[in-house]
Structure 1
Amino acid sequence: MTIKRGNVVSHSGATQWGAGKVIEVTEMRATIQFSDGIVRKIVSSHYGVLLPANPSSFVPIAEGIPVVKVRAAAKRVKKAAA
């Protein structure tokens, strides 16, 4: 299988990742965003474990979902020495 930008693939050894969309291909590796929301880099020597997947099986993570941020505790002000 030839890996090209825009292809939808699945990893034969990690089906729990879901389908992935190839977002970048270099001589050494492919960068793939999988349906589980994680972007992974697969080295070219492991392209054999990537299988073509149905394009409709790729479900990107919605970017509009707000991320809950944990607020840091308020800084305490030191009292001046009397």
Structure 2
Amino acid sequence: MTITAGSIVKHQGAPEWGSGKVVEISASRVTIDFSDGISRKIAVSHFGTLQPADRDSYLPPPKAESVLIKPRRVTRVAKKK
């Protein structure tokens, strides 16, 4: 199997991870965002465990809601001279 950025794959040994999208490729490993919400790095030596998956089987993980927190105001106390 040829792995390219954007490929949809599944890991034979971990079906609970769901399908994943290849997001980064280096000489020694690939980074895959799996449907369970976890990004995993798979070494070249384990490429045999990756199988092509149907594009429709990949569900991007839900984006975490960002919570906007307002900084607290700090009141300064005047020093006595």
TM-score range, shorter chain: 0.7 to 0.9
1:25 aligns with: 25
State the Cα distance separating 1:21 from its structure 2 match: 0.2
8 Å contact from structure 2 (residues 37, 62) kept in 1: no
- TM-score by structure 2 length? 0.78
Identity %: 51
Matching residue's letter, 1:60: P
Matching residue's letter, 2:11: H
State the Cα distance separating 1:67 from its structure 2 match: 5.7
2:65 aligns with: 66
Q: Tell which structure's C-alpha radius of gyration is larger.
A: 2
- TM-score by structure 1 length? 0.77
State the Cα distance separating 1:62 from its structure 2 match: 2.4
Corresponding residue SS for 1:45: helix
How many corresponding residue pairs? 67
Q: Which runs of 5+ in 2 are unaligned?
A: 68-81
Corresponding residue SS for 1:6: coil
For the residues of structure 1 that align with 2:61 and 2:51, how far apart are their CA atoms? 21
For the residues of structure 1 that align with 2:31 and 2:37, how far apart are their CA atoms? 13
Q: Which runs of 5+ in 1 are unaligned?
A: 69-82
